[in-house]
Every structure is written in structure tokens, then in C-alpha cells.
Chains A and B, each alone.
Chain A
Amino acid sequence: MSEEKKEKKAIFSAKNRKLLINPLHKDNPITTQVLGICSALAVTAKVKPAFVMTLSVMAVLAIGNVIISILRNGIPPRIRIIVQLVVIAALVILVDQVLKAFVFDVSKQLSVFVGLIITNCIIMGRFEAFAMANKPWESFLDGLGNAFGYGWILIVVAFFREFLGSGTIWDYPVMEKLGVYSFGYENNGFMILPPMALIIVGVIIWVQRSKDKTLIEEK
């Protein structure tokens, strides 16, 4: 108990704040750790599914991190992957049911990709790299931070893909309201295709690295 009290005192210590903020930029799961690329390609054709996906991953990652962290001393190392998978799968099913109950249309758009959160490398990666060796509160912050880091990339990519590819933002027909179609503007069909998501992620990495040279690996 005494340990927990100490923790509470330093609830947002500098170290804890770093857990939350680092994944947004320097330690971003997508652009520097290169995890979770598959879903960044799959669900970013529009902003709305990307946003819901972010929330789902956030829920699974934060809660999962806490659960694994609580269990960490009781998990036999040889079967830890299985245990982690069980936790992820249970949480993903919960999220999936919630989505189906409250936002059915988005759930349909995301279709199989909600289920595929189970295979999202960020979650396994954070369980292995962080929750297995840290206390619940830190793990919670780490999960939240990484989910934010994952989410903002997803939403930026989705913003450009939806804006240039479908001419809408959050299903609002921006391009049509601007009246650019009458000038002969056309939506860019390439933006809807997954390769373009990869290229946009690449451009984000390019910008990030030219702003912050410390991210560039030494040759």
C-alpha cells in the first residue's frame, strides 16, 4: 500500500509526462517505431472511421496495458504471448460489440479491421516492451500516449485522403461547397487506394525527420 501512495504523489511527474508526450513525436508508434502500419493503410480513406479506429485502439491499448501490468508478475514467461492475446481478444470483442451497438454504420465501414486490432503490432509491442515491466499507472499512460501518437497520424492521413480523394471532410462535401468542380476539378482516385496512405505516411516521416535531425539514424 505504501508503494501505491508514493505513486500517487508523483502522478504526473516529469517521467510520467514523457510517457504521454514522447509517443506523439519522438517515439511515434507509426513514424519511428513503424508499428501498426497495416491499419494506417486500411482505415484511413475517410476521417470518421479513422477517428473511431483511434478511439478503439486507445481503449484496447490503455485498458490492456493496465491489465497486463497488473498480471505481469503472475504470467509465466513461456506462455506470455498467449496470455497477452487473450487479453487483447477479449477487449477487442468488447469494443466491437460497443461499436455495433452505438455506431453501426461506422462499424460496418471498419468491418473486419476492428477484429484485426488483435493483430495490430502496436498493442503487442507495447505489452511486451512496456506493460510487462512497469506498474499499472505508468502502463496506462504509456498506452494512452501511444494510442494518441498512433491516432494523430491516422487522422492526418485520413484528412488528406478524404479531402483530396473524396472531396469531403467528415462526410461534409467541402469541395462541392467550394464549387471547384465547376472549374474542372476532379477527385483524386489514387488517394482512396491504400498505396497513397503509405506515401502520405512517408511524407509525414520525411517532414518529421527534416524538422528533427536526431531521428535520423547514423549510417
Chain B
Amino acid sequence: MKVIRKILDDIKPNVQKGGKFEIFHSAFDAVETLFFVPDKVTIKGSHIRDGIDMKRTMIVVFIALIPALLFGMWNVGFQHFKSLGETVTLWPAFWYGFWKVLPIVIVTYVVGLGIEIIFAQKRGHDVNEGFFVSGILIPLVLPPDIPLWMVAVATAFAVIIGKEVFGGTGMNILNPALTARAFLFFAYPSFMSGDKVWISDKADAFSGATPLGDALVGNFDKLPNPMDMITGIIPGSIGETSIIAISIGALILLFTGVASWRILFSTIAGALIMGLLFNLWGYNDYMNLPAHYHLIMGGFAFGAVFMATDPVTASQTNKGKYIYGFLIGLLAVLIRVFNPAYPEGMMLAILLMNVFAPLIDYYVVASNINKRLKRVKA
């Protein structure tokens, strides 16, 4: 570590204000804070700074995503060979998926970070870690065979229109990863939905429908058994299939307190309650689907753990978090069952609630003020 410190200290004067390479300031800063805790201290007031800054938070989320990422890579390979009717051992499947997923990850990072650095230079602020997690989330919510240029376009759209327009990391209204996915979903629907895209290079005769796809067209007898859906040996977006891998990530996030348990809990509650209500109504087969199926189908689990809990776009107040999460779960199931055009309701539900999160906060705060005012009067 000392060696790195020394190298950085040697370079530092050159890139600070007035130095020869001032233009690389933000790049230098990015590297420096990667290795060392920033030495910034507060000057005014009595702010207490926690040791956990944005970089540490992002690293925790990144670690939490690793199980889903690794499983996703393996599953991409496994599904591919399965569709060809071949049996495959652990490593060949993993390597196949690895070489499918890695280019998507690289393209996402290069495009996303490139744009962030350009904006940081232009606006004179530091390159921050905002894209660190988005860069891994975006590949995980895409199908394995998505053309790379589409990934690049969607990433650029998400970073510019979804984030930089509002002022960069921490100011965004919509979750950037979901913005990218929604962009692709509406722009290139034939690459993002249907039963052809979820298995990489699949054999034509093999049905590649996801459980959601099956449910949508009423093939309830074709749904994989719940055990497969929980382990994740089903076709789907790269990172969304395995409930076990996602749960490991969820435990890490909850244990470290990075994700809000209130949001997670209320999202699941919302989905279950909506599912149970549909069960009571029981008008068609989809409504009769047991409520807990909704939790393990499609991107619900992934969205609930990694997207809904995004601290920037979620509600900030505790009461608001319950409302926010509950409505996400409720709307996700509602969209799935009622709107045949959008098989995956989770993405749209989260984006919609992202937009409403500040409003929820506003009313939670306002009601609190009212309550206190009443107390004063009494």
C-alpha cells in the first residue's frame, strides 16, 4: 500500500489545480479514492462523517451482485447446451456463459464510464462511483444474446437522459439500470421479449419461453416446477433467474444495512397481497396462480432486492419506504396479470414508483408536520 501511496503522491501535484495535467484531475481522483479513504473533512458545522462513503456502499452492492452474476454466467451456458440436447459439466457451461456475458459487461462499463468522465470534465466535478453498480446491473437484466451496440446505445441513453440531465449521481429520478432496460424494451422489442431471446443460440425446436411468457399465453401446465425457479435453472435475463443467488445478495445487503429492509419487506408483502386478492377473485387462470409464484417468476426477486432498494431513487422517509415498496409489489403483479403487452411488470412498477417516490416523501413529511402542529395547539 505504501508503494501505491508514494506513486500517487508523486503524481498528485501535477494533476491538481494549476498543475501540468490539470485535465486529468478527475481521473486521478477516481484512482486515488479507489485505494484510499478520501481525506476530505467537513469544514462548517458539526457534520459527522461515517467511514462508509459512496465507494464503500457501491462495493458492498457489487459484492452482493457477484453470486447472481456467476450463476447467471453458468446458467447462460447451461441453457444453451440444454437446448441443443447436450449434457454439460460445470466448467464448459460456465465458460460459455462467461464469454457471452463478459463483452456485455465491458461494453456497458466503457460506454457508461466514458460518458461519465466526459460530463465530469465538462462540469468540473469528480468522477464518482455512481456508475460502478449500474454497470453490472445493466448486463444482469438483459437477455444473453442482446447485440452489443444495443447495449451501448441503451447505456448511453440511461446515463445521459436518465442521470446526467438531472445533475449526475445521486440526483437521478429513475434507476439508471432500469432506464436502460426500459429503453431497450420499447426500442427493440423483438430482442427483449418473446420466447426466442432468453437462451443463447438455442436450437429452434426448443421452447425458450420464460415462466412469465408461459403464464402470459396461458401455458400454466408448462411452468417449470417451483424448485427449478428457485435454483434458477430456467431461461431468463442473465442475472434474474436464481432466487438462491439473489437471496445471498439480499442477505449481504440487509446485513450491512445498505438496502432498506422496509422496502424489501413491503415489496414482497405488496406482491403477495395482490396475488392473494387475485386468487380470491379467480376470474381467469393467471389470477388463480398461487401468489407465491409471482415472487419467484421473472425479475421480481432481482428487482425487489437490487432495484427497488436503490437508495437514490427510493423514498427516503421510513413510512414512505413502506408505501413505496408496497405499491411496487402490488403494481408489478397487477401489470403482469392485466396487461398482456408487458409480461414483466416489475420493471415498469419500479420505474413508475421511482417517479412517485418524492411525492410520497413530501406527504409523509407534511403529515408529520401536521401531527406535530396539532400537538402544539392542544
Contacts and interface: CB of A to CB of B under 8 A. Distances in A.
B147 A190 contact: no
B252 interface: no
Nearest to A199: B161
Interface residues of A, number: 12
Given A184-B149, A199-B161, A189 B191 contact: no
A186 interface: yes
B150 A190 contact: no
A199 B188 CA distance: 18
SS class, residues of chain B in contact with chain A:
helix
B186 A189 contact: yes
A186 B188 contact: yes
Nearest to B185: A190
Contacts of B186: 189-190, 193
B165 interface: yes
Interface of A: 184-186, 188-191, 193, 199, 202-203, 206
B147 A189 contact: no
Contact of A206 (B165, B183, B189): B165
A185 B153 CA distance: 12
Interface in B118-167: 147, 149-150, 153, 161, 165
Contacts of B165: 202, 206
Which size class do B's interface residues fall under? 10 to 19
B110 interface: no
B187 interface: yes
B149 A190 contact: no
15 contacts: A184-B147, A184-B149, A186-B150, A186-B188, A188-B187, A188-B188, A189-B187, A189-B188, A189-B189, A190-B183, A190-B187, A191-B187, A193-B186, A199-B161, A206-B165
B232 to A, nearest CB: 29
A206 B160 CA distance: 12
A9 B186 CA distance: 56
Given A186-B191, A189-B188, 15 more contacts: A184-B147, A184-B149, A185-B149, A186-B147, A186-B150, A186-B190, A188-B188, A189-B186, A189-B189, A190-B183, A190-B186, A191-B187, A202-B165, A203-B161, A206-B165
Among A189, A199, A202, A206, max chain B CB count under 10 A is at: A189
B189 to A, nearest CB: 6
A111 B248 CA distance: 55
Interface in B170-208: 183, 186-191
A159 to B, nearest CB: 18
Contacts of A188: 153, 187-188
B187 to A, nearest CB: 4
Contacts of A186: 147, 150, 188, 190-191
Contacts of B191: 186
Contacts of B183: 190
A196 to B, nearest CB: 8
Among A190, A199, A202, A203, max chain B CB count under 10 A is at: A190
- Nearest first, the 5 closest Cβ-Cβ pairs linking A and B are A190-B187, A190-B186, A188-B187, A189-B187, A186-B188
Contacts of A185: 149
Interface string B312-348: 0000000000000000000000000000000000000
Among A185, A188, A203, max chain B CB count under 10 A is at: A188
B39 to A, nearest CB: 32
Contacts of A190: 183, 186-187
A82 to B, nearest CB: 37
A110 B115 CA distance: 38
Contacts of A203: 161
Nearest to A164: B187
A193 to B, nearest CB: 6
Among B147, B187, B191, max chain A CB count under 10 A is at: B187
Contacts of B187: 188-191
A101 B248 CA distance: 68
A19 to B, nearest CB: 33
A156 B153 CA distance: 21
Nearest to A210: B122
Nearest to B183: A190
B43 to A, nearest CB: 24
A209 B138 CA distance: 31
Among B147, B149, B186, B188, max chain A CB count under 10 A is at: B186
A189 B188 CA distance: 6
